[in-house]
């Protein structure tokens, strides 16, 4: 039963750089798009996507899909608790919060440390030994079980061919690994690693897996070393390779210096001890209480995603905010519900800025515009308020403080702002309103800097003098100046 596969890969940097993208466009037309920022890839959805696109061998594929589901039902209760990957009701965030909980519980005791090894496997899915896999599956559900027979059948005969719709490559026979992009592959991987939990038996070490992403932690470094030694043996027995270079160690502690004897080894080679590590999308720092780096990374990723959306200024403002909530907010807030209690006022400020930057682009005002004005113009509440409601998070001192600062700034807005056209009319908020940026820019700075004799950046004050009429000029003098001959549109141009 030979199958021709579509090409799919994740959004890893090395897959998405321009050279690769260009090559793929020209060489492989049968590509499946992987959604951006999707740690929970649902392979079944993609399988259906293939069907919709091609309608090819629908019967076989559907049977295959049903088997995948059947298999999940059959084996799910036999997969160990520490495996979070591709299981009902469990996500990457569950895995991370489980790890964080372990660390926090240890660090509550003064002077205690918690050591974690983040294990990286080389091409785990490709190297799986099929015979071992079938043996483990037989042990689990029985050798004569229909699913065992079918899966053994599928894995005993498959080859891949790459098609560019004109030519087909030579057949490449696969004898190792589970099938790429197949809905049952993650389940098969979970079956393969079911017995891995035995390496932590009778120790204080705990293990967390999300598919092939694995973390093992303990407050007892000697025990953790023993577990690592067992892991090496387990990997050998199962023909999996641990990537030493990418396997990292982190020592979580309440303070104090890193000690040399806290370094673990893998096959007698010391592991690299790192101060931060991105685990399933959340960057952990050794002090644990700090998520500064994670927040910075999420904010930067959200702002980058924002710049990929063109013509924001042409969108109706409410529509733009709907877009923000569905496409940008999830990137900025990933992981926040599990670290909310540790966020600082400064972290909250960074998250809030993602929203104000977005609104500035919708409004067509400059990046240095006072953020507080954007909330009034857009008639929006603060992003952190939204997040707290959406994620059902409690009030924290940092949250209260951050909100107080934001509200204080909003209350300090000058009163004339509220009688500008932008605030008294809403036409400019509609779709494709060509002059939106003129109305909004007038409201936020009045083009004061264009006519004031003081040329450096400043807030308008009593000493400001108009260079056209030589009279005192306030923020919104441009529209009242008798000598001003040009229109606001012209002011806006340069
Ligand atoms: Zn001035
Ligand atoms: Zn004037």
**Pick from 359, 377, 485, 475: nearest CA to 423:** 377
Q: Which ligand is nearest to the CA of 484?
A: 2
Closest C-alpha to 83, from 182, 175, 230, 206: 206
Length of the chain: 494
Cα–Cα distance measured from residue 277 to residue 250, given in angstroms and rounded to the nearest whole number: 8
Give the confidence band of 20 by pLDDT, cuts at 50, 70, 90: low
Arithmetic mean of pLDDT, 434-459: 92
The number of the ligand nearest the C-alpha atom of 480 reads 2
Q: Are 117 and 240 in contact (CB under 8 A)?
A: no
| Integer CA distances (angstroms), 302 to 265, 305, 309, in order | 37, 5, 11
What is the distance between the alpha carbons of residues 468 and 485, in angstroms, rounded to a whole number? 10
How many whole angstroms from 472 Cα to the centroid of ligand 2? 7
Ligand nearest to the CA of 477: 2
Q: Pick the closest to residue 351 from 386, 392, 379, 310 (CA basis).
A: 386
Interval between CA 356 and ligand 1 midpoint (Å): 25
Distance 452 CA to ligand 2 centre (A): 8
487 C-alpha vs ligand 2 centroid, how far in Å?
13
Buried b vs exposed e over 76-100: b needs ≥16 C-beta within 10 Å? eeebeebbbbbbeebbbbbbbbbbb
For ligand 2, the distance from its centroid to the CA atom of residue 463, given in whole angstroms, is 13
Compute the distance from residue 481 Cα to the ligand 1 centre, in Å: 14
What is the overall mean pLDDT for the chain? 83
- How far apart are the C-alpha atoms of 195 and 234, rounded to whole Å? 9
CA of 493 to the centre of ligand 1 (A): 20
For residue 26, pLDDT beyond 80:
no
CA 303, CA 292: separation in Å to the nearest integer? 17
Distances in whole angstroms, Cα of residue 277 to Cα of each of 83, 107, 284, 339, 483:
20, 18, 5, 15, 62
Say whether pLDDT at 16 is over 70.
no
Q: How many angstroms separate the alpha carbon of residue 210 from the centre of ligand 2?
A: 66
Q: Beta-strand (E) ranges in 11-87?
A: none
Q: Which of 15-29, 139-153, 374-388, 420-434 has the lowest mean pLDDT?
A: 15-29
Tell me, in angstroms, the distance from the centre of ligand 2 to residue 418's CA.
22
Q: If you measure from the C-alpha of residue 139 to the centroid of ligand 2, how many angstroms do you get, rounded to a whole number?
A: 88
**pLDDT band for position 247 (50/70/90)?**
very high
Distance between Cα 467 and ligand 1 center (Å): 10
Ligand number, closest to the Cα atom of 467: 2
Question: Ligand 1 centroid to 256 CA: how many Å?
Answer: 52
Tell me which of 188 and 402 has the higher pLDDT: 402
Query: Across 4-18, 95-109, 252-266, which has the greatest mean pLDDT?
Result: 95-109
Report H helices in 208-249: 221-237
Ligand minimally distant from the alpha carbon of residue 466? 2
Taking the C-alpha atoms of residue 287 and residue 252, their distance in angstroms, rounded to an integer, is: 6
Confidence of residue 160 (pLDDT cuts 50, 70, 90): low
466: CA distance to ligand 2 center in Å?
Answer: 5
Give the Cα separation of 258 and 297 in Å (integer).
25
Cα 458 to ligand 2 centre (Å): 17
pLDDT, one tens digit per residue, over 164-179 is 777 777 766 666 777 6
Q: What is the mean pLDDT of residues 71-89?
A: 75
Q: How many CB atoms lie within 10 A of CB 296?
A: 13
Closest CA to 253 of 117, 118, 119, 103: 103
Centroid of ligand 1 to alpha carbon of 477 (angstroms): 10
Question: What distance in Å separates the CA atoms of residue 304 and residue 327, rounded to the nearest whole number?
Answer: 12
Between residues 339 and 71, which one has the greater pLDDT? 339
Q: DSSP assignment of 422-482, as one string? A: HHH--GGGSTT-TTHHHHHHHHHHTTHHHHBS--SS----TT-BBTTT-SB--TTGGGT-S
Q: Which ligand is nearest to the CA of 453?
A: 1
Q: How far is the CA of 286 from the centre of ligand 2 (A)?
A: 59
- Residue 454 CA, ligand 1 centroid: distance in Å: 6
Rounded to the nearest angstrom, the distance between the alpha carbon of 461 and the centre of ligand 2 is: 14
Ligand 1 centroid, distance to 352 Cα (angstroms) = 30
Mean pLDDT (whole number) for 201-217: 90
Find the range with the poorest average confidence among 34-48, 89-103, 139-153: 34-48
Query: Which of 489, 452, 369 has its CA nearest to residue 417?
Result: 369
Residue with the bigger pLDDT between 82 and 272: it is 272
Ligand located closest to 485 CA: 2
Ligand nearest to the CA of 464: 1
CA of 436 to the centre of ligand 2 (A): 24
Its pTM stands at: 0.77
Look at residue 41 and tell me whether its pLDDT is greater than 50: no
106-127 confidence digits (pLDDT tens): 988 888 899 999 999 888 777 7
- DSSP labels, 136-191: HHHHHH-TT-HHHHHHHHHHHS-EE--B-SS-BPPPEE--BSPPTT-TTHHHHHHH
Q: What percent of the chain has pLDDT over 90?
A: 49
């Amino acid at each position: 039963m030979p199958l021709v596969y579509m090409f799919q890969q994740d959004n890893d940097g090395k897959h998405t750089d321009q050279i690769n993208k260009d090559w793929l466009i020209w060489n492989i037309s049968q590509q499946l798009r992987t959604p951006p920022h999707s740690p929970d890839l649902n392979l079944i959805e993609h399988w259906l996507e293939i069907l919709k696109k091609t309608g090819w061998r629908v019967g076989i594929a559907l049977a295959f899909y049903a088997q995948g589901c059947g298999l999940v039902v059959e084996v799910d209760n036999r997969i160990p608790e520490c495996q979070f990957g591709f299981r009902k009701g469990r996500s990457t965030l569950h895995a991370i919060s489980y790890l964080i909980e372990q660390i926090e519980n240890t660090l509550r005791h003064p002077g205690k440390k918690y050591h974690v090894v983040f294990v990286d496997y080389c091409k785990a899915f490709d190297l799986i030994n099929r015979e071992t896999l079938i043996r483990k599956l037989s042990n689990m559900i029985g050798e004569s079980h229909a699913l065992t027979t079918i899966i053994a059948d599928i894995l005993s005969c498959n080859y891949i061919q790459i098609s560019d719709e004109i030519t087909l490559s030579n057949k490449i026979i696969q004898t190792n690994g589970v099938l790429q992009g197949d809905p049952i592959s993650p389940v098969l991987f979970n079956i393969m690693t079911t017995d891995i939990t035995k390496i932590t038996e009778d120790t204080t070490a705990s293990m967390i897996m999300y598919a092939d992403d694995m973390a093992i932690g303990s407050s007892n470094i000697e025990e953790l070393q023993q577990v690592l030694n067992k892991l090496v043996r387990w990997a050998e027995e199962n023909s999996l390779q641990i990537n030493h270079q990418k396997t990292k160690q982190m020592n979580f502690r309440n303070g104090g210096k890193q000690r040399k004897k806290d370094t673990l080894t893998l096959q007698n080679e010391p592991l690299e001890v790192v101060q931060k590590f991105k685990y399933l999308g959340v960057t952990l720092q050794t002090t644990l209480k700090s998520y500064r780096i994670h927040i910075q990374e999420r904010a930067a990723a959200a702002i980058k995603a924002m710049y990929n959306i063109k013509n924001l200024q042409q969108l109706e403002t409410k529509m733009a905010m709907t877009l923000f909530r569905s496409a940008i907010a999830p990137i900025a807030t990933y992981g926040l519900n599990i670290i909310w209690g540790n966020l600082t006022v400064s972290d909250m400020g960074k998250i809030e800025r993602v929203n104000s930057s977005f609104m500035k682009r919708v409004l067509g005002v400059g990046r240095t515009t006072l953020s507080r004005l954007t909330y009034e113009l857009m008639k929006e509440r603060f992003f952190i308020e939204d997040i707290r409601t959406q994620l059902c998070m409690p009030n924290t001192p940092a949250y209260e403080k951050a909100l107080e600062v934001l509200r204080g700034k909003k209350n300090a807005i000058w009163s004339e702002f509220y009688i500008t056209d932008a605030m008294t009319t809403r036409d400019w908020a509609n779709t494709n309103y060509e002059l939106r940026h003129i109305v909004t820019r007038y409201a936020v700075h009045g083009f004061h800097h264009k006519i004031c004799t003081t040329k450096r950046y400043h807030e308008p004050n009593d000493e400001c003098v108009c260079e056209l009429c030589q009279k005192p000029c306030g923020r919104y003098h441009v529209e009242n100046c008798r000598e001003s001959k040009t229109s606001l549109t012209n002011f806006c141009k340069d």
